[in-house]
Amino acid sequence: MCSLWIKRPLAALADCPGGIVVRDGRIAELLGRGEMPARSMENVFDASRHVVLPGLVNTHHHFYQTLTRAHPLAINKKLFDWLRALYPVWSRLRPEDLRLATRLALAELMMSGVTTTSDHHYLFPDGLGEAMDIQVEEARRLGIRMTVTRGAMNLSEKDGGLPPDSVVQDEDEILADCERVIGKYHERHEGAMIQVALAPCSPFSVTKSLMCACGALAEKHDCRLHTHLAETHDEDEFCRASFGMSPLDYLEDAGWLSSRTWLAHGIHFSDGDVARLGRHGVGVCHCPTSNMVLASGQCRTRELEAAGAPVGLGVDGSASNDSSNLMEGVRHALMINRLTYDASVSHLDALRWATQGSARCLGRHDIGEIATGKQADLAFFTLDELRFSGAGDPIAALVLCGAHRADRVMVAGEWRVADGVPLGIDVSELRAAHGAAARRFL
């Protein structure tokens, strides 16, 4: 659609009581009370029932894990034991499984109001060499923006790492595919639908040589870097025993301490670490639900933001969440941060992490905000359910009363979710096919 007037929303995370004008995929005007669009509109959408948010931005996930939610071998375990239980299960992943897992995760994210996502795919058993291609195809099919992170593991049990030999690759193979994926898919222009980041998995599953090589490739091709860091005390102990340094010192030693990098979790940082992260502009993706499930700890969001580090939000993998619902994650972020700090942490803080903060983590300035000139990525929620009855502040109600499903979602000015369902997806059929595939992993 070339132009659309989103007319008089019930509320919006912007000053636009008269509505939002979309032209050619961007936000063209924000209208005050009683104002009309500057020129006649081809389409009008009555938003009087809707609370409009910037499209949510998910900055950390593992789509393949939707196949092993609430897995009996992994329930009630902390991270390292959880990983040891699931690595052999995940080693059975096939291309057709990843396709269904990706499709389901994307659909679930979009239904929760997500318009941009990243996925940290680092698992490459034999036969899964085209994992990145599968994910790009599925993202394009649904019309969602995606940062495809070409993850990797090359430090297996025989080398002193955590993963089994069956799910790792050698460094040359990894780097060759990183070059291929960047060359084929990475878009550098404003409004990009697909971007590529390089993402060695973690200090306990990759070599320092691979970390350094990926850092050099990212610099060469102007793409971003992503990894897990400082998620648990076990990781800290591993780094000190294996490398003689803390996780952040290891990151700096590998040449990753820059604004090109965003980290998943970032829980166990000292005051000095926080200051260094802020000084270098390293982003941190806060994963509140997963951190609570695995009892990993609490991210120092306030200190990180005060130091200058971008803070975003992620659902993390669907075997440690166990869902792909970022709006639910917004509420969890509010609650755990109030416990960490105090009641002055607001719903607006949590929404900021899921929008502007996440966009900054991905290095994007064209999304994450309802503002003139930004991409028209929007999530529309109604307050029709019983859970919202009596709510006075519509935006606060989304978080405090537990909104978890968007009514409509727009990406680049195009409707991608209508009546709560991604367009072009038969949800019942997808549920049946994905459920059948998941039974192979029990």
Mean pLDDT over all residues of the chain? 97
Share of the chain above pLDDT 90, in %: 96
Fold of the domain built from segment(s) 3-54+374-422: Urease, subunit C; domain 1 (2.30.40)
Q: Which residues contact 157 (CB under 8 A, 6 or more apart)?
A: 163, 164, 165
Report pLDDT for 389: 98
Query: Cβ of 348: how many Cβ atoms within 10 Å?
Result: 13
Q: What is the separation, in whole angstroms, between the first and last Cα of the chain?
A: 45
DSSP per-residue codes, 159-216: GT-SS-GGG---HHHHHHHHHHHHHHH---STT-SEEEEEEE--TTTS-HHHHHHHHH
Residue-wise pLDDT tens digits, 281-313: 999 999 999 999 999 999 999 999 999 999 999
Residue type, 99: R
SS (H, E, C) 89-150: HHCCCCHHHHHHHHHHHHHHHHHCCEEEEEEEECCCCCCCCCHHHHHHHHHHHHCCEEEEEE
pLDDT at 350 over 70: yes
pLDDT over 80 at 1, yes or no: no
Q: How far apart are CA 131 and CA 121, in angstroms?
A: 8
Contact 91, 167 (CB under 8 A): yes
Give the model's pLDDT for residue 160.
86
Residue 102 has pLDDT above 80, yes or no: yes
- For residue range 420-439, list pLDDT tens digits in order: 999 999 999 999 999 999 99
The average pLDDT across 268-278 equals 97
Considering only residues 203 and 361, tell me which one the structure prediction assigns the higher pLDDT.
Answer: 361
Torsion of the alpha carbons at 286, 287, 292 and 293, rounded to the nearest 10? -160
Distance from chain centroid for Cα 17: 30
Provide the 8-state DSSP code for 281. Answer: T
Domain ranges of the chain: 3-54+374-422, 56-361
Is the CB of residue 88 less than 8 Å from the CB of residue 165? Answer: no
* pLDDT tens by residue, 143-184: 999 999 999 999 999 988 889 899 999 999 999 999 999 999
Q: Which fold has domain 56-361?
A: TIM Barrel (3.20.20)
Place of tokens 């071998």: 73
How does pLDDT run across 75-96, given as a tens digit for each residue?
Answer: 999 999 999 999 999 999 999 9
pLDDT digits (tens, 9 = 90+) for 29-75: 999 999 999 988 889 999 999 999 999 999 999 999 999 999 999 99
Distance from chain centroid for Cα 409: 17
Please give the backbone phi and psi of residue 104, each rounded to the nearest 5 degrees, phi first. Answer: -70, -45
In this prediction, residue 42 carries a pLDDT of 86
**Strand ranges, E, within 8-98:** 11-12, 19-23, 26-31, 43-46, 50-54, 56-58
Closest by alpha carbon to 370, among 77, 52, 70, 71?
52
CB-based contact 185:148 (threshold 8 Å): yes
- What is the percent of the chain where pLDDT is above 70? 100
- pTM check: above 0.75: yes
DSSP label of 375: B
For the chain, the farthest-separated pair of C-alpha atoms sits apart, in whole angstroms, at 69
Q: What does the buried/exposed string (b/e) look like for 273-288 if buried means 16 or more CB atoms within 10 Å of the residue's CB? A: bbbbbbebbbbbbbbb
